[in-house]
Structure 1
Amino acid sequence: MSVGLYYTAHRDTPLSDDERAVLTRIVDEGERALLEEARRRLAGGGGGPRGPRRPRGDLRTPGPVLDR
C-alpha cells in the first residue's frame, strides 16, 4: 500500500525559514496520522467511517445506516 500526495504551486518569492518550518510540521503531522491509521487498521483495529466490518457473507444484521 502506498499513499502519494502531489502539490504544485508557483510563488514569486521563496518561502521564508518560518514558512518552511510550518509547512514541514503540517506535512509531518499528516504523514504521522496516516501511518497511525494504517497501522491501527492493519493490526485489526477494524472499522473505518462506517464501523467494524462483518465477516463476508454475514447477512444476519443490516449494515449501518448513514445519514447524508
Structure 2
Amino acid sequence: MSPPETCASERRAQEVYEVYLAHIDGCAPCQAEEDCVEVARIRRDLRAARAAVRESPALRAARAEARK
C-alpha cells in the first residue's frame, strides 16, 4: 500500500471502530452481554480493517526502520 492507501485503511479502521462503539452503546443485548448477530458482523469488519492497517507495507517498513 502506498501512504495514501495506508491513511485510507487507518480511516476505515477508525470508522468501523466508531460504528462498533455506537452499536454497543445503543444495543440492549450487547449491554446485557447477550448474543448479538450485528455486533459479531461489526467485530469481523473491525478485525479485517485492523489487519489491513497492520499488513500495510508502509507500516512494516516503519517497524523495520525502528528496529535498527
With normalisation by structure 2, the TM-score equals: 0.41
Determine which structure has the larger helix proportion and give its number: 2
Bigger radius of gyration among the two: 1
